Structure 1
Amino acid sequence: MAPVKNGRLLFNEVPTGYPEPGKTTVYDDSQTIDLESVPLNGGVLVKILVVSVDPYLRGKMRDSSVKSYSAAFVIGEPIFNFGVGVVLRSENPSVKAGDHLYGHYPFQHYVVLPNIDSFRVLKNEENLPWAAYVGVVGMPGQTAWVGWYEFAAPQKGDVVFVTAGSGPVGSFVIQLAKLHGHKVIASAGSEDKVEFIKKIGADVAFNYKTTSTWDVLEREGPVNIYWDNVGGETLDAALQHSAKGARFIECGMISQYNSAPYTVQNLMAIVRNELHLHGFIVGSHLPKYRDEFYREVPGKIARGEIQYIEDAKKGLEWAGHAILDVQQGRNHGKSVVIVSEE
């Protein structure tokens, strides 16, 4: 077989604000690969089917000298994130051609993986779309599951406030809270997103761009469980309208990823209301919950007990645009890039 193009999305430069397609990231299709003869050296050759676009990728677009909880992208190299691929050739006895692997992939069409210890072979007995395994049955779903069961400590009568409620994490949290019988307040950034969070069970759903979060919480609170995906002024409002002993689950702060830091005004509420603030990275707690998650969640999705929506772009060349859409909140549902059809 003649070599084929192996297109890649390269990290080109550190952005100063929003990441710009064609500038921050560049799609390059100059590399080729011979699928029949490329050496595997005991590894596997994988065709990447779908990759995930998540808010935290912006934090990896930094100078490598700046330390954080995850490694920075390398200038001139492909960006990487969770994805699903199908094995084309294998010299690893634990997998065979046709198996599907979930794990961290570079944003490119084909890759030789010398080691797959950190990858999971997906059985997919429920026959879910592979893209679901980077969303509701992937890291975002795991984030919701782990954060809720590790930190929420729900009690009868609790009021739950979820931000970025239409996103893959927030929408899952809303549905978990409703399954536990709680009143849920949820915010989103457009009217169609508000309609979605109403559909999945939010008791109070509002557009934070047109309705005051402060006023909603004043009327519908106080808040016992706050799931924070945005930080900034919304966190400030939640602090002021928190109940005694409330649990704050600090999952993300996308309002701060591309702009100047916001100075929180109501920090004294932490003392006054004896709040519990839990910042967490899902990978730190996932081993405790991984088996339960894969045992429970795919079936819930297949039975319609947990609903989700997806914002898919077809073609790796559009991944840079997907990254920008997520940072600006223009995606509706879990952002994925379909790299290849099976």
Structure 2
Amino acid sequence: MAPVTNARHIFIEIPTGLPEPGKHTAHDTSRTIDLENEPLHGGFLVKTLILSIDPYMRVKMRDASIKSYSPAYAIGEPLYGYGIGRVLRSESSALKPGDHIYGALTPHEEYFVRQDPEQFEVLKNEYNLPLSLFVGVLGMPGQTAYVGWKEFSKAKPGETAFVTTAAGAVGSFVIQLAKLDGLKVIASSGSDEKAAFAKAVGADVSFNYKKDSTKDVLDREGPIDVYWDNVGGETLDLALAAAKDYARIIECGMSSQYNASELYGIKNALFFVTKSLSLNGFIVYKIFHKYASDFYREVPKLVKDGKIKYEEHLKRGLDLVGEGLRDALDGRNQGKVVIVVADD
């Protein structure tokens, strides 16, 4: 077989605000690969099928000298993140041709060779669900919602939770977990359509923060016992003011700060003392092992049975990675942003 194009989506410039498709990332078709003869060196060759586009990727688009919990992307190299592929060839005893694998280090290119099978897991799709769900409600976002809620919410029936970015892949799952635990849920989203979806998955009070004052809603519907924070900034300040004594603040993300030229300074920090509040931030891969068995036993069946609802914002083509990242960061998406690179 003659070599075929091996397109990539590469990082080309560090953004100072919202990343722009074509300026900060670019689609590159300059490389080829011989699928039958590419050396594996004991590794495995993968065809990329599905890529997850997530807000945390913006944090990786920085100067490599700036330290963080995750390494910076390298200029001129493909982006990478959570993704799904199918093994085409393998010299590794851990993987065989035909295996569908999922991992956080999936490069944004059509085909790739790796020698680290321990960084990927073989998907077990016993209910024959769409593969795209394994980067969404059954992948990192769903796992994030599940482990963060189970670990830190200390939820009790009759309490009130406030969830931001409530129509997203994480937030919408948190709403449903909170309702399963018997809580009242206040949900904040960035459009009427997203507010309607958050309501449809169970939120008791769902509002568009661009139209309705978050302070007014919390004053009217609070106080709150649990705050699930995906946005940070002023909304975190408002949640602290609306919190009951002993409320739990769960820090999952701070999307309002990812593209900010100047970070927002919290003004209500004193409430941590006067209200005896607890605050916990977390990175999913650091604690998922505690809940992995429960997650895989419970959640796929709940999704199959329609008891956990989700939405997807699907785009087809590796060339649309930049658009997908923009959509995820500026709120143009309606559901989990997923890039379909190829069919199986």
Instruction: Classify the TM-score, shorter chain.
Output: over 0.9
Indicate yes or no: 2:268 matched with 1:266.
yes
Offset from partner CA, 1:212-262 (integer Å, 9 cap, x none): 000000011111000000011111110000001000000001011111211
CA distance in 2, matches of 1:27, 1:9: 5
Offset from partner CA, 1:13-46 (integer Å, 9 cap, x none): 1101110111110110110001001011111111
Q: CA deviation at 1:155?
A: 1.5
Q: CA deviation at 1:148?
A: 0.4
Q: CA deviation at 1:292?
A: 1.7
CA distance in 2, matches of 1:187, 1:115: 40
**Residue of structure 2 in register with 1:28 after alignment:** 28
CA distance in 2, matches of 1:36, 1:336: 29
Q: CA deviation at 1:272?
A: 1.1
Offset from partner CA, 1:24-81 (integer Å, 9 cap, x none): 1011011000100101111111101000000000000000000000000000100100
CA distance in 2, matches of 1:143, 1:276: 19
TM-score (norm 1): 0.99
1:143-222 equivalence runs, <5 A:
143-222=144-223
Segments of 4+ moved more than 3 angstroms:
none
**Residue of structure 1 in register with 2:129 after alignment:** 128
**Residue of structure 1 in register with 2:10 after alignment:** 10
CA distance in 2, matches of 1:16, 1:90: 41
CA distance in 1, matches of 2:291, 2:55: 23
Q: CA deviation at 1:94?
A: 2.3
1:298-317 equivalence runs, <5 A:
298-317=300-319
User: What letter corresponds to residue 283 of structure 1 in structure 2?
Assistant: Y
**Residue of structure 1 in register with 2:297 after alignment:** 295
Contact 2:159 2:224 in 1 (8 A): yes
Contact 2:136 2:336 in 1 (8 A): yes
TM-score (norm 2): 0.98
CA distance in 2, matches of 1:89, 1:292: 32
1:330 to 329, 332, 336: 332
Identity of aligned residues (%): 56
| 5+ long unaligned stretches in structure 1 | none
Q: CA deviation at 1:291?
A: 2.0
CA distance in 2, matches of 1:97, 1:156: 48
- SS of 2:339's partner is strand
Indicate yes or no: 2:232 matched with 1:236.
no
User: What letter corresponds to residue 75 of structure 1 in structure 2?
Assistant: I
- SS of 1:161's partner is strand
**Residue of structure 1 in register with 2:68 after alignment:** 68
- Give RMSD over aligned pairs: 0.7
User: What letter corresponds to residue 304 of structure 1 in structure 2?
Assistant: G
User: What letter corresponds to residue 325 of structure 1 in structure 2?
Assistant: D
User: What letter corresponds to residue 2 of structure 1 in structure 2?
Assistant: A
Contact 2:316 2:339 in 1 (8 A): yes
**Residue of structure 2 in register with 1:115 after alignment:** 116
- SS of 1:263's partner is coil
The size of the alignment, in residue pairs, is: 342
CA distance in 2, matches of 1:336, 1:48: 13
CA distance in 2, matches of 1:303, 1:42: 41
CA distance in 1, matches of 2:92, 2:294: 27
CA distance in 2, matches of 1:267, 1:217: 18
CA distance in 2, matches of 1:314, 1:156: 42
- SS of 1:117's partner is helix
Q: CA deviation at 1:134?
A: 0.5
Offset from partner CA, 1:283-317 (integer Å, 9 cap, x none): 11111112221121111111111010000110000
User: What letter corresponds to residue 101 of structure 1 in structure 2?
Assistant: I
**Residue of structure 1 in register with 2:52 after alignment:** 52
CA distance in 1, matches of 2:158, 2:271: 21
